[in-house]
Amino acid sequence: MPLVTLKNISKNFGETHALRGANLETRLGEIHAIVGENGSGKSTMAKIISGVIVPDAGSVEVLGVHPKNPNDAIAAGVSTIFQEIMLAEDLTVYENTFAGSDSLWTKKYSVAEKRKITGEILGRLVGEPVNPDAIVRTLPLNIKQWIVIARAILNRPKVLIFDESSAALDLEATNRLHDEMRKLRDDGSCVILVTHRIAELVKITDSATVLRDGETVGRLSKEEITEENILKMMSASSSAEASTQARKVISTEQKPVLFVEGCKVTPDAKPFDFKVHAGEIVGIAGLDGAGQTEFLRQLSCIEAPAAGQVMVCDSSVETHELASLAEAEDAGITYVSGDRKLEGIFPNLSVFENFGVALMDRLTRRSGVIARDLIGAKLDVEMERLAIKLGHKSDKISTLSGGNQQKVLIARAFARSPRVIVLNDPARGVDVGTKQDLYKHLREFASNGGAVVYLSSEIEEFYNFAHRADVFVNKTIFASFKEQDINEDHVLSAMFGRTGHIEFDAQVEATVR
């Protein structure tokens, strides 16, 4: 019996046709994916199943009901984990985990029970103890993501929807999440997964619905879920071709454009050296908390390292220290944040304003008047280059799909004509076709003399792309791999601090520190 049936669904937001006669059908005991390019209507579909959005046309049946609001869907057994992490930051972990579980008149559990259950469930999900009394604001992004997941699975839902919810989790954590999904499926629930992670799709989903521009273009069975099939169906124009494009050979003989010697991410960490040359793409990997995120911020001078000085080379001879963020920006170092919501966008401002904010210092006329025409022209160029999908530039950025918001941030970084671009997991929530485009633009940027430092939580992103991958363990660079040695075996083993089966060949300069 189908659990969720969407027939001929349409939904418009003003002039935007988010869904146009789309269909979906899922059954008990399956993990079903909804895939499609950024802006193809996946989140809108997830919100319709959850009763958050009522479609303009078509019929929705979820577990025998026709949800008109979130309460209808929840009562029927639907639980949803949305793309944005929604938590009461000033409340405790257990209060957030149980938010929405108590009705106005009845309380199912005492406070002591809630704390105990929260400790148990989060301990299992996170893989280490989490204090149920901690205030959420003080916790890192990945723990916050787990709290949202814990809240959603607490009552063992019949339909559990993940809308890009593994995006903030690292590889090991994603595996734990997959175990949890399989357990729910085997217990008879249906898991609906919205994801751009192809490896994840191929690995754990039983079937998939593919959307293109708001229409369902096909339903794939497990055997049919391959990267090639998905890319082909998602977009008539997408191709996996870009990933096989050759990397340019770079010279590491020259002085690096950005470097730091004796860098300590935290006072008690082991020091390491880091450098990136013009034309070079350096991948940064590590499990959550291994120090890679802090390092990226330190390299971009957003924060100071505990030891070591970030240096920039202006020309082939001149090097100087970067003492502040302003100096780093003047030297052409640009940082793209991975935490879009917290430090990337101004949700109440338009796309134009969010893009223009980074250019105002350069594109303001002497009279103090902002050169809107010049900013607009730059935005046009970047919108076309990155295929940013939006209604009007004056629309609030928060009305854009998640992936398109991310593209605006990347566009903003490119528009500053940087020399070094430091990206913190930029492809999170970005569709496969756009990822390929992003790699292409970054390769072009590097071939024109730019340097790229690229942190990713997906190892696959480095293949055929990075010249070098540095792996963080315990707040230091534990291993570095040259391009031909960047593969899952090597990087994964290093991420777990293992080197046992890796044969390090001095000739290819893979180094373990």
Ligand X SMILES: Nc1ncnc2c1ncn2[C@@H]1O[C@H](COP(=O)(O)OP(=O)(O)OP(=O)(O)O)[C@@H](O)[C@H]1O
User: Which spans of this chain sit near ligand X (rule: CB under 6 A)?
Assistant: 13, 16, 18, 36, 38-44, 389, 399-404, 429, 431
Please tell me the total number of residues recorded for the chain in this structure: 513
Pairing of the two strands 207-212 and 451-455: unpaired
Rounded to 10 degrees, what is the CA torsion of 346, 350, 352, 354?
Answer: 0
**Between 13 and 346, whose beta carbon lies closer to ligand X?**
13
Cβ of residue 83: shortest distance to ligand X, in angstroms? 6
Cβ of residue 359: shortest distance to ligand X, in angstroms? 23
Cβ of residue 372: shortest distance to ligand X, in angstroms? 23
Question: Do residues 458 and 434 touch, judged by C-beta distance below 8 A?
Answer: no
**Between 213 and 485, whose beta carbon lies closer to ligand X?**
213
**Between 37 and 329, whose beta carbon lies closer to ligand X?**
37
Cβ of residue 254: shortest distance to ligand X, in angstroms? 39
Q: Which of 307, 302, 310, 295 is nearest to 267 (CA)?
A: 307
**Between 116 and 219, whose beta carbon lies closer to ligand X?**
219
**Between 185 and 407, whose beta carbon lies closer to ligand X?**
407
Cβ of residue 288: shortest distance to ligand X, in angstroms? 22
**Between 36 and 418, whose beta carbon lies closer to ligand X?**
36
Which residue's beta carbon is nearest to the bound ligand X?
Answer: 403
Cβ of residue 153: shortest distance to ligand X, in angstroms? 22
HSE, side-chain direction, 13 A CA sphere, residue 15: 5
Cβ of residue 48: shortest distance to ligand X, in angstroms? 10
Encode 125-149: b = buried (16+ Cβ within 10 Å), e = exposed: bbeeebebeeebeebebbbbbbbbb
**Phi and psi at residue 182, to the nearest 5°:** -65, -40
What DSSP designation does 507 have? G
**Between 292 and 456, whose beta carbon lies closer to ligand X?**
456
**Between 298 and 456, whose beta carbon lies closer to ligand X?**
456
Cβ of residue 212: shortest distance to ligand X, in angstroms? 10
Cα 421 to the center of its chain, rounded Å:
17
What DSSP designation does 386 have? T
The tokens for 54 are: 């009522």
Q: How far apart are CA 431 and CA 451, in angstroms?
A: 24
**Between 176 and 219, whose beta carbon lies closer to ligand X?**
219
**Between 51 and 291, whose beta carbon lies closer to ligand X?**
51
Q: How far apart are CA 14 and CA 279, in angstroms?
A: 44
**Between 47 and 277, whose beta carbon lies closer to ligand X?**
47
Cβ of residue 431: shortest distance to ligand X, in angstroms? 6
Q: Which residue has the tokens 């295929």?
A: 387
* AA letter at 389: K
**Between 332 and 403, whose beta carbon lies closer to ligand X?**
403
Q: How far apart are CA 20 and CA 163, in angstroms?
A: 20
**Phi and psi at residue 290, to the nearest 5°:** -85, 0
SS3 254: coil
Cβ of residue 44: shortest distance to ligand X, in angstroms? 3
Cβ of residue 351: shortest distance to ligand X, in angstroms? 10
DSSP states along 132-173: TTSBGGGS-HHHHHHHHHHHHHTT--SEEEEESTTTT--HHH
CA angle centred on 40, ends 18 and 455, rounded to 5°: 135
Q: Which of 496, 12, 102 is nearest to 286 (CA)?
A: 496
C-alpha distances (whole Å) from 249 to each of 72, 257, 446, 487 are 58, 16, 11, 19
Cβ of residue 230: shortest distance to ligand X, in angstroms? 13
Residues 6+ apart with CB under 8 A from 395: 350, 351
Question: Do residues 474 and 291 touch, judged by C-beta distance below 8 A?
Answer: yes
